[in-house]
Chain A
């Protein structure tokens, strides 16, 4: 920990708390005595998760059931946070969806749902929290996007474009909140073994969620970096992938 009086963050709101990566992050935070507010769709799953985190050492765990993809529900959620968890200092957004790319090529409904969940709704809820933290001139917004957002690929460009757009949104937000002393962390995991990726080929070789969670928690507790690639090798892989000229890239099949 640095000597210049960095405040230890202890109260965290987790959006999409039942997602595979989020669960592992919460377990690490629980062991460190964080107070958590878990937001997710299924009240039953949130209760099971709450019991687990309390058993593993969390100080307090509050839960709130909401479908974050539905922007209409954001105001109530934000109200709840203001009333019961107002002195939170960190928000981690970990929700998202990944349909089969083929489905969003043939169905505009699936396409729009993918963009709504991964991009539109995320910017909406983050805007509420950003304004609050900006006014309080403290805190941290950490958002899970994806390495898939660094380059549009044939096999995954709808998910990729939503996550890429979210990364761009966070770039601007970071610059805006920087002057208020609010941190914005863009978390870009490579492929991870969770329910979201089980249908992809070779999913057994993906990173383990525990490993990604360790990197995320470390980033939350330090002042750097602004953009976290996890596992770390993806920073180098994506640096390479971004250099490939479009005229070659369009002929690649991955």
Chain B
């Protein structure tokens, strides 16, 4: 119950020096912010927007974007994590209404016992609904269900110039399409209605199959799309042009006698020294991972969390990359251009700088729901690179050439360094998004790729 007068006083005396360090998931770049607002209630948001300067704010959730799209260096952030109330859940229709800071994990907790699950989920459940909308995230069922944003029925959006605006396919449809994939720039999401999907329980019929070339991956992927709701592959990024990997596919299991117990794994306590993660240790890990799965291949009934969120079992795994942090490179390349994909994998393998996580997935053809959505038909590849300064950036630039020539695109949620030219090539219509940006909002990413103020 702090008095308004004191709050106002505090705001006047706030120093305009950027001292609050806030990082993204990749812990690169290292940025400082002048202030982080932490509204706990939606009624506090209009005042924050009203008292801010132009281009000074960015809304942020759990900060699981890897690069600088969740950063606003030298300016202010609105941390939405305390806006975490679930405002309603209709058991009959499966529509959940929640504030923007509610996490996907929270939604699973209340909905799965009642037979409902997320229509689309990324590889971690520790993201907010606001973040999932702002990046129009995708999952292992992209070929069936499209992106997260296509399951959003309605949102309430705080705008600095016209208050709380309801957006759906019936009213302010353009603003909804701009906000989905809009990188948090169109305003602060007050609440969202998400359509969940019916499932029988927490179990997944999972199947894993080793493969030894891009061709066999594509065959597996095409064969599986019709019969499996979820498909994704892990890739050994040291194996080059003819990548070996493990193809995972699965469906929700009808029923299972086993009792479900959610697990809680260990936490990485601090960043280990950089030398621990070298090309030999990482190569050995990839080798072991492949051999393990090649031996374990076959069908099993597994709990949903180990199927969808294997990395969530090690909390703060991003610290493993050490103090310098890491970069993720996620691109999509048209399927017609297999040589480009091979060339890209070859460059990664030759650099010897690859890492644990190589992910390969064939996107479906469903149009994405947002103006700036990343998913589009083609193969998407995600690779982690430990940040080792200039040579890491040079390697990624050489990958950019391949992506740009192939007519592909890069994913803003994972990016900390793409050039304005590549952004333009990836999102040729970004200028038509600009009118929907809230005049008070901006981000490090947006200024970097568009040259905005």
Asked if chains A and B come from one complex, the reply is: yes
Residues of A within 8 A of B (CB): 16, 18-20, 41-42, 44-45, 48-49, 51-52, 55-57, 68-69, 95-100, 103, 110, 113, 117, 194-196, 198-199
Sample 16 A-B pairs with CB under 8 A, ordered by A number: A18-B41, A19-B1, A45-B43, A51-B85, A55-B86, A56-B86, A97-B2, A99-B6, A100-B9, A103-B9, A110-B5, A110-B6, A113-B3, A117-B1, A195-B38, A195-B40
- Residues of B near A194 (CB, < 8 A) are 40
When C-beta atoms are compared, the residue in chain A nearest to B41 turns out to be A45
- Residues of B near A41 (CB, < 8 A) are 1
Give B63-107 interface residues, CB cut-off 8 Å to A.
82, 85-89, 99
CB of B10 closer than 8 Å to a CB of A? yes
Q: A195 and B6: CB pair below 8 A?
A: no
List of 10 A-B pairs having minimum Cβ-Cβ separation, nearest first: A52-B85, A97-B1, A55-B86, A99-B6, A51-B87, A195-B40, A55-B89, A97-B2, A52-B86, A45-B41
Q: A52 to B85, alpha carbons, bound, how many Å?
A: 5
Q: A195 and B2: CB pair below 8 A?
A: yes
When C-beta atoms are compared, the residue in chain A nearest to B83 turns out to be A48
- Interface residue tally for chain B (C-beta within 8 Å): 20
Q: B2 and A99: CB pair below 8 A?
A: yes
Which of B1, B6, B87, B110 is close to A95, meaning CB atoms less than 8 Å apart? B1
A contact face: mostly helix, strand, loop, or mixed: loop
Q: A51 and B43: CB pair below 8 A?
A: no
A26 to chain B, nearest CB (A): 11
Give B1-49 interface residues, CB cut-off 8 Å to A.
1-3, 5-6, 9-10, 38, 40-43
When C-beta atoms are compared, the residue in chain B nearest to A52 turns out to be B85
- Residues of B near A117 (CB, < 8 A) are 1
Residues of B within 8 A of A (CB): 1-3, 5-6, 9-10, 38, 40-43, 82, 85-89, 99, 110
- Residues of A near B6 (CB, < 8 A) are 99-100, 103, 110
Q: B85 and A49: CB pair below 8 A?
A: yes
- Residues of B near A45 (CB, < 8 A) are 41, 43
- Residues of B near A98 (CB, < 8 A) are 2
For the complex with contacts A117-B1, A196-B2, 4 further pairs of A-B residues with Cβ separation under 8 Å are A42-B43, A44-B43, A52-B87, A195-B40
A44, A45, A95, most chain B CB atoms within 10 A: A45
- Residues of A near B85 (CB, < 8 A) are 48-49, 51-52
- Residues of B near A42 (CB, < 8 A) are 41, 43
When C-beta atoms are compared, the residue in chain B nearest to A193 turns out to be B38
When C-beta atoms are compared, the residue in chain A nearest to B87 turns out to be A51
A77 to chain B, nearest CB (A): 15
When C-beta atoms are compared, the residue in chain B nearest to A44 turns out to be B43
A15 to chain B, nearest CB (A): 11
B281 to chain A, nearest CB (A): 32
- Residues of B near A68 (CB, < 8 A) are 1
A195-B38, A198-B38 are contacts. A97–B87 as well, Cβ < 8 Å? no
Q: A20 and B40: CB pair below 8 A?
A: yes
A2 to chain B, nearest CB (A): 28
A195-B38, A195-B40, A198-B38 are contacts. A100–B10 as well, Cβ < 8 Å? yes
- Residues of B near A49 (CB, < 8 A) are 85
Q: A39 to B99, alpha carbons, bound, how many Å?
A: 22
A48-B41, A195-B40 are contacts. A99–B1 as well, Cβ < 8 Å? no
- Residues of A near B40 (CB, < 8 A) are 20, 194-195
- Residues of A near B99 (CB, < 8 A) are 48
Q: B10 and A199: CB pair below 8 A?
A: yes
When C-beta atoms are compared, the residue in chain B nearest to A95 turns out to be B1
A90 to chain B, nearest CB (A): 22
When C-beta atoms are compared, the residue in chain B nearest to A69 turns out to be B1
- Residues of B near A16 (CB, < 8 A) are 1
- Residues of B near A55 (CB, < 8 A) are 86-89, 110
Q: A57 to B164, alpha carbons, bound, how many Å?
A: 29
